[in-house]
Amino acid sequence: MEQIAAALGDGARWRIVELLAERPRSVGELAELTGLRQPQTTKHLQTLTRVGLVTVFPLGQRRVYAVEAGPLKDFGSRVRALIESIEANEGERDVLTRYQAAISADTAAASRDRWADGRAFAFDRLLAAPRDYVWRHWTDPALLASWWAPPSMTVTDCVIEPWTGGRAVLDYRDAEGRYRSAGEVRAATEPEHLEFDLSVLDAKGDTSFTGHYDLKFTEAPGGTRLRLDLRITETTVEAVPFIAGIETGWGQVLDNLAARIIQEKD
């Protein structure tokens, strides 16, 4: 497929294939129709022949070329599969569009530190599992690591110790770098209520902003109603990309949790 794509990536060769799709043609005729010199045309035809797109028919002193449909069908199938994959995952592109818009809006607002202090977010999910099951996915480090990161991110360390004064830690990385957060659990009542602070740290270990998380786990028909309220303080100008991504990022993370629970139960 790579060789065929490379061969068709040249405009002259693509035009030759278009002409051969109409009917077999000689080198001279192809050179005349494409405006190329005959040696150039021959060289392009040799490339197309090597990857199986064209077959040559020696007819006495003439050489006539015909296109092969089979490799093009295979190539077309791969392209169609690629298009289907793109269309099926259009939501991922939409996430980037929303994130870009949020960064632009917050950049305009972030003229000084504390610019977003007090900003609040709320998330609500119905999870298809009992409360104690959902609770464990927040307080068991192995389970927490299985869902607590957006796509493309890898969790390297995470813990929420479910008692007052317990540690709250989230470290994750991607190809661009490492991201660290640390804080403290303020309240924990299994399996009903979990409250903790988590500060996002910059490369020097200084706080970019702090998130104050309040989670409620309520029994509901079909499982557990999870309500997450988040309020941010100590916001710095440099925190713009993080704060702009909260809405989208936490939406993705909670989707991960819901999908993980369904997967485990199946």
Q: How far apart are CA 151 and CA 121, in angstroms?
A: 21
Rounded average pLDDT over 93-114: 91
- pLDDT score, position 225: 97
Rounded average pLDDT over 17-39: 95
* Tokens representing residue 41 in the block: 């045309």
Contact 153, 175 (CB under 8 A): no
- pLDDT score, position 62: 85
- pLDDT score, position 185: 98
- pLDDT score, position 260: 93
DSSP E strand stretches across the chain: 25-26, 54-59, 62-67, 120-127, 154-160, 167-174, 177-189, 193-201, 207-220, 223-233
**CB atoms inside a 10 Å sphere around CB 12:** 15
Q: How far apart are CA 266 and CA 161, in angstroms?
A: 28
Specify the pTM: 0.76
- pLDDT score, position 59: 87
| Cα distances (Å, whole numbers) of residue 235 to 106, 118, 211 | 12, 9, 9
pLDDT digits (tens, 9 = 90+) for 159-187: 999 999 999 999 998 888 889 999 999 99
- Please provide the distance, in angstroms rounded to a whole number, between the alpha carbons at the two ends of the chain: 37
Q: How far apart are CA 219 and CA 226, in angstroms?
A: 9
pLDDT digits (tens, 9 = 90+) for 133-154: 999 999 999 999 999 987 778 8
Q: Is the pLDDT of residue 265 over 80?
A: no
pLDDT digits (tens, 9 = 90+) for 210-250: 999 999 999 999 999 999 999 999 999 999 999 999 998 89
Query: 68 falls in which pLDDT band (50, 70, 90)?
Result: very high
Q: Which residues fall within 8 angstroms of residue 77, CB to CB, at 6 or more apart?
A: none
Query: 95 falls in which pLDDT band (50, 70, 90)?
Result: confident
Q: How large a percentage of the chain has pLDDT more than 90?
A: 82
* Mean pLDDT across the chain: 93
Rounded average pLDDT over 127-131: 95
- pLDDT score, position 91: 85
Q: Which residues fall within 8 angstroms of residue 91, CB to CB, at 6 or more apart?
A: none
- pLDDT score, position 21: 96
